[in-house]
Chain A
């Protein structure tokens, strides 16, 4: 099959995470793809809603779950709006995996801190589950996750799972005014919650994903906690069409996010012209 031809995937389960965020659980239609498909945490794919086109999402499930993949997306435009209306039994297209990945082997033995806002959890959820499925190989797993409101938290049932585990430290928070009467988590913005939580940096890594404003205010906090730019990792979302370095769309300076990304350390980003427009 050629580069731009997607594989058909059947949706076998869906979950409405928030009013406009949905998760699709997908299985390849071709039996041999079910056998042979493999990917690494952090990679992405192009998902087809035939008739509208393709959208780029990370693979939100870990490579340790062999029988299926998941994607979680917010309905923001044409393709995602159509994908949102898909239900179990519907068929969509997928091509990938593309892009680089989290170098998991380099993380072995280290403490891992996840700082996440809103809909940005999917790319890190892939990594979190990958780590939890190989729990012995890593140090502390600490998660700071916030959203605008309780309704905007994704993977709510998994947050409960993580909270119940003794080998995960989970801090959840919602923006002031976004709480409900029975909300047990914190109230405040993610950078503030991170500052109060104040996890040690050591030789660990911090994974930061979220809206630009959250990233902007989390960086100085991580700096204060002792995380060097080489210890801070994020993933980028530039507009893509081909996903394979040919359509000329996703570059920041000379760096093609689809090929050299989407995973970058803060140190790598410092070399890119990102402060201004690019």
Chain B
């Protein structure tokens, strides 16, 4: 029997899902594909390449209210924002962005559970779409970063483009339940050994693991000054990234009534670590850029066992100053430790 699904089959399944859940999927806009809720399966961009901004905001929004306070009330009141978690399907997430979700999971569940994140995460079904070819051949380097462009092990459902259609398999019980009554049969999820050979994405010559290993020992290397020369500290690289998770917590309101909110933040900003005294342990852009690289390729992997970069290449394409993460990693790959200072 032909196990291949057509786009029409995917639409039929999506329409069925839409009856019970919100679906957030890539939709085409004049500014390129973006993640947005769809009301109709016809709105979904089935072959969308890559969105400029990752889907992470659907799990960790740019701006969210934590609670409202009213100190004028008697007694004073704190009212927590409802955990805004309608059952949601994140549809057609490429493997790099599924890996981004895994990266967020590790942080948001590290000892303390971040409830707003967790509520959204628990209510979200991740439907992945494998990449047949690199959406951005110049900048995608997922395979080099250890992410298989053809396979997303942390997804609930895996859709794989094949010759003449798609195969669909369920990777979790939730994924399987979502496919009940699907228009076409499922493909059995292959055991690790039986899986197709890891796909290659992009045309870049880069070994991220080697570059990451080479970073240890280059912390005090003067090369950081020249490497980060162009960076203007705009934070764009963090905002487009699927795995960046830094945030700021601020109050909006006055001493009587208002809200405590959290907003995305970025280590590229000069005030990020500044103390009230004026002292700043990262007073120069080169040190802030170095923090970004070390966080993604050294500190986070030491704690959680995988990179905090999924090789999606968005930051390479988005940086207004032409900073190129791939080139930076290549510098270290080419000239490993032993030069420069400790760490």
Q: Which residues of A does B touch, CB under 8 Å?
A: 1-6, 8, 29, 48-54, 76-77, 80, 82, 91, 93, 237-239, 241-242, 244-249, 251-254, 259, 273, 276-278
Over the window 226-254 of chain B, the binary record of Cβ atoms lying under 8 Å from chain A Cβ atoms (1 yes, 0 no) is 00000000000000000001111111011
Chain A positions within 8 Å of B110 at CB level: 245-246, 259
- What does DSSP make chain A's interface, helix, strand, loop or mixed? loop
Once the chains are docked, how many angstroms separate the CA of A177 from the CA of B116?
Answer: 54
Number of inter-chain CB pairs below 8 Å: 126
Interface bin, chain B? 35 or more
B281 within 8 A of A: yes
Docked-complex contact A54 and B343, CB < 8 angstroms: no
Our pick among B71, B80, B248, B249 for the contact of A50 (Cβ within 8 Å) is B71
Least CB separation from B249: chain A residue: A241
Q: Which residues of B contact A49 (CB under 8 A)?
A: 255
Once the chains bind, are B276 and A77 in contact (CB under 8 Å)? Answer: yes
With A244-B111, A259-B111 as contacts: A276 and B71 at CB distance below 8 Å:
no
Q: Take A51-B255, A51-B258, A242-B249 as given contacts and tell me if A273 and B107 are in contact as well, using a CB distance cutoff of 8 Å.
A: no
Contact B303 A3 (CB under 8 A): no
Query: B residues within 8 A CB of A80?
Result: 276
B-chain residues with CB within 8 Å of residue A51 when the two chains form the complex: 251, 253-256, 258
Determine whether the beta carbon of A50 is less than 8 Å from that of B245: no
Q: Which of B27-35, B201-209, B265-273 contacts A (4 or more CB under 8 A)?
A: B265-273
Question: Is A91 touching B251 in the complex (CB atoms < 8 A)?
Answer: no
Tell me, in angstroms, the Cα distance from A247 to B283 when the chains sit together. Answer: 19
Q: Does B334 contact A (CB under 8 A)?
A: no
Q: A8–B78 contact, CB under 8 A?
A: yes
Looking at the complex, which one of A239, A247, A254 makes contact with B275 (CB distance below 8 Å)? Answer: A239
List, in ascending order, chain B residues with CB within 8 A of A48's CB.
260
CA distance A46 to B274 in the complex (A): 17
Q: Which listed residue (A6, A239, A241, A277) contacts B284, Cβ 8 A? A: A277
B318 at interface by CB-CB < 8 Å? no
B180 in contact (CB, < 8 A)? no
Residue B48 is within 8 A (CB to CB) of chain A in the complex: no
